[in-house]
Structure 1
């Protein structure tokens, strides 16, 4: 499976890089030699299962995590019941129900927003965006003045973000305005991810899954090794297929 290839690949890359660094000319490593060395790398199944569970739990796939727990016997390092509450918050933000999301966060842990002014500002900013999206201009202006402006006076970056958001009101066609991306769904997803990370941190859980970090490490290691050798590399991360080394 691809995830096994990734782990073996990174481990083997480290050994090859040291070997290639000893010479001055660029070495060529055949596909046969490369695959043989990959097969010599041993990865414990338990470690791979933990990696998968970590991804499912962190990203909030509670049903998949429960099924994986039953099938593999891998216990999550967090109560799966808490995932449901966290995903309810995330879904509320993604749907534009920011007030509901704030209430749910406070029900989980009031200290999350009390101790994270940037997160609270971004949630309030998202509330302002939703008001503008729904054409509630007067309500949006009042909300910006009463709730966001005081925070902008205390923080320059907040003020700049507020100014960008209010600028939406200056354009009739917001889809083509310079700040139109604020109304894109990706802005909701960005805010939802920030809330998700904050909740995970409050539960003493890592806010980012390990698997994406592993893939970044793979890309970095390949880029480093490209300077020293020609070898079968992985270009398509979704398939993890090895490509023959360039001549």
Structure 2
């Protein structure tokens, strides 16, 4: 068997790799459970329910808990941090009481949202009453706090609609930041890099905080914090890198590239069932 995309000059390793891969069989029910695990961990309640039914998997799952966890995650991703905190406290108050770093990151996101909506005075008051005391109690938070507070000095950057402009070149902000740094007193601490400041306003920053909160909720419920599918892809990536370091590149799809792919929009899997292959025989990975 000739590897995909290969024609002439195929190495013996490639031929042996494809020959071995063709003999690997994966039980379809095991694959279905991996998919179901992904849907549960990521909080796709409706899709998980339908998938389990179609796949014939009889498991005991608290779907109400999944739904609540998804609502919390969606609230953070939409910038409604106060709502997310309220829901978490109703679900399990100890999650935030025992995780100072997570609570701090949620508070930082609240501060960012105030700046995003041009509520400068409220942001200053919030920083003074909530963030400053927490930074004083936890010196390890000071670097993040200082970086986020720097947004107040650059209204052009803070008011930029990052949710719609993620593809915009941040170079446009380099000049105002450089100008501000040049006019600052010699003893003033230089501002963070413009790209670092800009990243705080991107939707990916909300997603990062939402994932951290989701993992904490899962841990409190005694569940895994990472999907089995993600773990498998990471293992594949590590294996590929180990082989490539020995001069044995793996043909086919790069697992490392898969790690950077974004999943489908949440509403897609939340409103539709995931199709399940009807064949009962084991799947051949080729």
TM-score, L = length of structure 1: 0.79
Superposition CA RMSD, Å: 2.2
**2:114/2:122 contact within 8 Å kept:** yes
After superposing on structure 2, the runs of 4+ consecutive aligned residues of structure 1 that deviate more than 4 Å are 227-232
- For this pair of structures, how many residues does the alignment match? 213
User: What is the CA deviation profile of residues 141-165 of structure 1, one whole-angstrom value per residue up to 9, with x for unaligned ones?
Assistant: 1110111101101212212211111
Judged with a 3 Å threshold, the aligned counterparts in structure 2 of structure 1 residues 142 and 229 are, in CA distance, closer, same or farther, namely closer
* 1: CA distance, partners of 2:214 / 2:42: 9
- Number of the residue aligned with 1:140: 123
CA distance in 2, matches of 1:64, 1:139: 40
Q: Describe the superposition over 1:94-138 as per-residue Cα deviations: whole angstroms up to 9, x where unpaired.
A: 111111110000111011001111111111111111111111111
Give the direction of change, closer, same or farther, for the CA distance of 1:42–1:121 in structure 2 (3 Å limit).
Answer: same
Which one has the bigger helix percentage? 1
Q: Compute the displacement of 1:49 (Å).
A: 1.6
1:187 aligns with 2:205: yes
- Unaligned segments of structure 2, at least 5 residues: 1-10, 161-172, 178-193, 259-284
**Contact 1:94-1:188 within 8 A present in 2 as well:** yes
Give the C-alpha shift of residue 30 in structure 1: 4.6
Q: CA deviation at 1:213?
A: 1.7
Residues 1:73 and 2:56 aligned together: yes
| Structure 1, gaps ≥5 residues long | 1-26, 243-247
Asked if 1:233 corresponds to 2:251, the answer is yes
1:189-231: CA deviation from partner (whole Å, max 9, x where unpaired): 1111111111111110111111122112112212322355657
